[in-house]
Structure 1
Amino acid sequence: MNLKHLEYFKVLAQLEHYTLAAEKLSITQPTLTYAISELEKELGTYLFEKNGRNVRLTKYGKIFLKHVENALSELEKGEKKVKELVSPYSGTIDMAFIYTLGSFFIPNLVKNFLNKEKNKNIKFNFSQGTTKNIVKGLKEERFDLAFCSFVEGENDIDFIPILKQELVLIVPKFHSLSKFDSIDLKDTASFPFVYYNSESGIRPVIDNLFKEVNIIPKIACEVEEDSAVVGLVSINYGIAVVPKIWILDHFNIKIIPIKNPQYTRYIYLAYVKNKYISPSANLFKDFVINNCKLNS
């Protein structure tokens, strides 16, 4: 069914006069007559009947008009929505990030971006999760951009290093290890650990640290995100290796630098290679790269 023919039908139904409708549509009257005739052939019924010099809708025309108006209205809304989404300065960005970044890094990054006058009308949809789920969401096109750990073997994803995070040991305030100002990870072998689960991007990193000092950690429990790890450590459920992030300063714990093995974790801006992203998302991507990119 021809979309223009539906628009012509709607205008003719409103004005009930072929000449006036053709003038409003900036087409010839024969063009309008042909369009209505084609619609009627397709539907197998008359949509208009003569009413003096004018025309009026038939019973079937009235029924059809309601659906045409609804359909055209939805199409107009869709067109408006898409134009808003792809506008470089008023679009919406679907962005995901790992839990580690939610309390400080992402809010401040977005704030600095929106503080630029040209960006103030851009909106964000935020999602949090583990690296594994975030990368899955990128490939399923649920997210435009993401901030996560690097994942081996994901050849369709571009990973750009944008942030360094030191890894530290955290223990309860009055734990026997709290007297130390730095620690060798091998000296933690006898203590139970609150550990990140297998969905977390940092899990393989921490596993490798323990392999380097030839110990197998005693895992008291596994959780998904940072605040749960820190909260459980604060009640003496175990100790933990975590990124040195802002949230640590707000719990009753001791933060101890790890002197052996030393490791710096990288956080990456991730997006699908060779995939179209909206102008607003591209604008934010360039902002992040220009302001945060590290030498890998």
Structure 2
Amino acid sequence: MNLKDLEYFQALETYHSLTAVAEKFKVSQPTISYALKRLETEFGEALIERDQSHKTTFVTAAGEIVLKSAQRINREWQYAHAEVKLHQQSKMRIGLPPIIGTYYFSKIAQKLVPANLLGNIETVEFGSDELLQQLRLGALDFGIVAATQPVDLAGIRQYELAHYDFVLIEANNQHTPAVTFESLANQPFVVHSRGYLHDEVFRRLSAENSVYPPVAYQTPNVEVLKNMVRSGIGMGFITELALQNHDQDLRVVHLLDDQLPKFRIYFLVRETLPLTNWQNQIIDIFKSEVTTLNS
């Protein structure tokens, strides 16, 4: 079995035609047929069914199992190529959510600059859910993630770097006092899109209090969210991390609920990863934030 056979098989699931796959890869149809035969011999099962009347193919139940493995193998192979390239360039790729990239990462960057290490970092942005999935699949080795509690990922070391309260924000001409979430049943909200921690916590508070405030607008962009609140579209649900000096025209409303979750920032590192000296230096700078948090 070779990786090209798996690539052809994945394409068969998409195109449902040996001829179409052969045209895509600019090879002969027998090349695709032989690749499929090798895979079926390897697994001792038919992986596709042929509809001769329509000259199309369909993946069998056994084929579905192989397909999922093939997708994972090809992802990891592409990841290995990317990681080797980064290693050759002395680059360390760190995944992080946009809100952390915008409002928190500069704090770490200020410590990396004197050590001449900032240029060794390449950041890629994902929502927290997608970032954890990338780590789970092995597509990332390092991440900075937002969560309300320690992350449950096997083989991953984690360090809590900081934590911030969740608060409500409203236009400056509003005068809502501190409130409980339960009292907000009829309050329109501007909230984050699905896949972001803010949305997860907002929905959790809704379920815990059995109140479901109307959502006027959802966005993945924090600045868009704040501008919507400024315009009076609704109240915002946000972490204090994202409130800056230029946001003084927004009014913060604190929640009075007991045991509110916090917006916690964790640095994640794969345990089995062989590290270079400069990578260890970068990790030590991140870990110094843990010392600051606990001091």
Q: Please say whether Structure 1 and Structure 2 have the same fold, judged by a TM-score greater than 0.5.
A: yes
Cross-structure match for 1:136: 133
Query: What is the deviation of 1:199?
Result: 1.0
Per-residue CA deviation, residues 230-269 of structure 1 (Å, 9 max, x unaligned), is: 2221222221211002544424321112122433221111
1:195 is aligned to 191
TM superposition shift of 1:127: 1.8
For the pair 1:281 / 2:279, whether they are aligned, the reply is yes
Give percent identity, aligned residues only. 14
The answer on whether the counterparts of 1:139 and 1:272 sit within 8 Å (CA) in structure 2 is no
Bigger radius of gyration = 1
For the pair 1:211 / 2:207, whether they are aligned, the reply is yes
Gaps of 5+ in 1: 1-80
Amino acid at match of 1:215: V
Q: 3-state DSSP class of the match of 2:107?
A: helix
Against the structure 1 CA distance between its residues 227 and 143, is the aligned structure 2 distance closer, same or farther, given a 3 Å change threshold?
A: farther
* Structure 2 unaligned blocks of 5 or more: 1-82
Match for residue 268 of structure 1?
266
Moved more, 201-210 or 233-242: 201-210
The one of 245, 252, 256 equivalent to 1:255 is 252
CA distance in 1 between counterparts of 2:242 and 2:192 reads 18
The DSSP-based 3-state class of the residue aligned with 2:217 is strand
Q: 1:263 to 1:201 in 2, by over 3 A?
A: closer
The corresponding residue for 2:73 is none
Cα displacement (A) at 1:166:
0.7
Deviation of 1:83 (Å): 10
CA–CA distance in structure 1, aligned partners of residues 244 and 288 of structure 2: 28
CA deviation map 1:63-111 (0-9, x unaligned): xxxxxxxxxxxxxxxxxx979947xxx9322122222223332112112
Shift of 1:190: 1.0
Q: CA deviation at 1:229?
A: 1.9
User: Take 1:130 and 1:92, find their aligned partners in 2: how far apart are those partners?
Assistant: 22
Q: Give the conservation status (yes or no) of the 8 Å contact 2:176–2:253.
A: no
Shift of 1:277: 4.2
For residues 273 and 174 of structure 1, do their structure 2 counterparts lie closer, same or farther at Cα, with a shift above 3 Å needed? same
* Residues 233 and 113 of structure 1: CA distance in aligned 2, closer, same or farther (over 3 Å): same
Displacement after TM superposition at 1:120 (Å): 4.6
Instruction: Report if aligned partners of 2:191, 2:218 keep a CA contact under 8 Å in 1.
Output: yes
Give, in angstroms, the shift of residue 164 of structure 1. Answer: 0.6
2:182 corresponds in structure 1 to 186
In the TM superposition, what whole-angstrom CA distance separates every residue of 1:147-206 from its partner, at most 9, and x where no partner exists? 11247653243332111111100111223xx342x2222222211111222211332222
Residue type of the alignment partner of 1:286: D
**Contact 2:86 2:93 (8 Å CA) reproduced:** no
In 2, Cα distance between equivalents of 1:229 and 1:98: 16
Cα–Cα, structure 1 residues 144 and 152, in superposed 2: closer, same or farther, change >3 Å? Answer: closer
- Partner of 2:122 in structure 1? 125
Kindly provide the amino acid, as one letter, of the partner of residue 126 in structure 2. G
- State which of 223, 228, 243 in structure 2 corresponds to 1:227: 223
Matched, 1:161 2:160: yes
Distance 1:265 1:246, change over 3 A: closer
If the length of structure 1 is used for normalisation, what is the TM-score? 0.60
After superposition, where does 1:1-296 map in structure 2 within 5 Å?
85=87, 91-116=90-115, 119-120=116-117, 122-139=119-136, 141-150=138-147, 153-175=152-174, 178-180=175-177, 182-251=178-247, 252-261=249-258, 262-292=260-290, 294=293
Alignment size in residue pairs: 207
TM-superposed deviation, 1:142 = 4.9
Distance 1:130 1:84 in 2: 22
Q: What's the RMSD between the two structures over aligned residues?
A: 2.9
Q: TM-score scaled by structure 2?
A: 0.60
Q: Secondary structure at the residue paired with 1:245?
A: helix
